[in-house]
Amino acid sequence: MKLFPALLLLLQAAVAHAATVGVRVHESEGGPLTEAVVQAVAWHAVSQDAEHDPAFLSPTLSDRDAVQALREAGASQLLDISIRWASEAKVLEGGKVVMLPLPVVEIVDRSLSGQGLVIVGRGEAAAEAGVMVDGDRLYVAPELALQHAMGRAIDHVRSPAWGAVAKPRRLPVVVVADAAWKARHGATWRAEIAARVDLASRLLAPVGIALDVVGEGDWHAPIGLPSVSARLRHLADQPRVGPEEAVRVGFTGVGPVSRLGGPEQVGRAFEPGRDVVIVDQRGLRDDGDRWDVSNEAVALAHEVLHALGVPHEEEVGTLMSSHHAGLVHLVSDRSRSLARAAVQARTAHWDAASAMLVLADAADRWLVGEPTRQLTYIVGNLPDAPVPGTIAPGSVPPIVDAALTRMYLDLAVASPESAASHTAAALVHAGAVRTGAPWLADELGDHLPPLRLSPSPALASASDAGTCDPMDHAVPEAPVLPTMNGGTGLVRDVPAKGAGRAD
């Protein structure tokens, strides 16, 4: 048999990306299907929709035994699939009423880490009753309904890079150090930075992130800067080196030293953004232990998550807690999911539209009731804006239309030569928000004045054609918005409780 080169590459890629995943299926009592049929439906869902090789584990197997079974199978991921059945009354021709079984499927995606099994995703879906018609006869087909529900649930927990769960996604990092840091650590200053980055990367392992240092440089920071936030702003204003998606971490020897301080007293970051500052906690003392490395590593992991758009948690004792002091290591499902979606959007090199939808899904699920934060999370984690016209207004969730409005306004300000077309595109997407989600337009109107306008049909058609003179319409002056290099989004100045976005 002769294979065309492109087809051969596709087949090789399919083999290379296939991986074994453990599967436990839990079905409520009284379901209409046998255990063998349920397992067959799960096998097809995992094999075809998720492109994994399922290794079924007994539903009665404990988590400890499941970890051992995963290791023996060479797997690092476990899908816990729970199925419960409801029923729906359907009236047939002639008035006969039949009860049709309806499946509800929940899938919990758990990854094997040094802490055991940690939850990295969750999805739930239901399906309409499965029926098949043969002539004038109707057959109930619960396995068909289960197949639909399971496929939908898997779509919620997987992403375009779902097959790579076993391998952490590498987040590029560029490290810089100021003169005070180098003077304090002498010839070992690089080793001191490496120790902190390594420990922070281990703290982020349950998130599926590994910090990958891709460059280093000098940071000529003035000694007289009054605060850690001022040093962060100075760092953000410096020319960047390395890949655009890299997070730049500035290590400074100037700042407060607090043995019991939480991350906000040790570091600072834009949320989301591309810059982080870490203050050396060794001070001018040498206590003989390495509490400074631990404190700074926790702060570095905490601030990197902020840079990915992850907000504080109310829960005490987690890595993103706003209330803790000292060392922590636990990561919540919320922080994990938001961070993974952000890193994938930044580093997977998808097209901008796909990245936006992944970010919007995470924001919709984990930033409920926070539209401003949803907006900055999406915009701040996108490497590039989609080309105007590639996403039809109103064809995406309203928060995505709002994010496109924001990005096109940024581009209109940054590039005067394309200001007309970008402003026109911004207004058309703003009109989609106004029409499809007026409450969202009201919430975000202070940040994005175009959301308070509705574009005219002439403006919409001109935008679709790529030609429009925004001066022909009532367009407010485009606001000067911070760029991503300057840390798009929320600037956290000093630790404060409850007020605004100063965490």
CATH 2.40.110.10 assigned to domain 169-339? The reply is no
Query: Which residues sit opposite 313 in a β-bridge?
Result: 321
Taking the C-alpha atoms of residue 503 and residue 488, their distance in angstroms, rounded to an integer, is 16
DSSP-assigned beta bridge partners for residue 353:
none
* Cα–Cα distance, 438 to 431 (Å, whole number): 10
Q: Residues 178, 221: contact at Cβ < 8 Å?
A: yes
- The per-residue pLDDT string of the chain (503 residues; one tens digit each, 9 = 90 and over) reads 233 333 233 333 333 344 778 899 998 877 888 887 788 788 877 866 676 778 889 989 888 888 888 888 778 888 999 998 887 777 666 677 777 788 889 999 888 876 678 888 888 888 766 665 555 666 667 877 888 888 888 877 765 444 444 467 899 999 999 999 999 888 989 999 998 998 888 888 878 889 999 999 889 988 888 788 999 999 999 999 888 889 999 999 887 655 545 566 788 999 999 999 998 887 534 444 455 777 788 889 999 999 999 999 887 778 898 765 556 677 888 999 899 999 989 987 777 888 888 899 899 989 999 999 999 999 999 888 888 888 889 888 999 999 999 999 999 998 888 899 999 999 999 999 999 899 898 888 887 877 776 544 433 443 343 333 333 333 333 333 333 333 333 333 332 222 233 34
CATH topology for 18-164 is Rossmann fold (3.40.50)
Q: Give, as one character, the DSSP assignment of residue 82.
A: E
- CATH 3.40.50 positions along the chain are 18-164
- Stated pTM of the model: 0.61
Tell me, what's the pLDDT at 53? 75
- Where are the CATH 3.40.390.10 domain residues in the chain? 169-339
Per-residue confidence (pLDDT) for residue 74, from 0 to 100 = 77
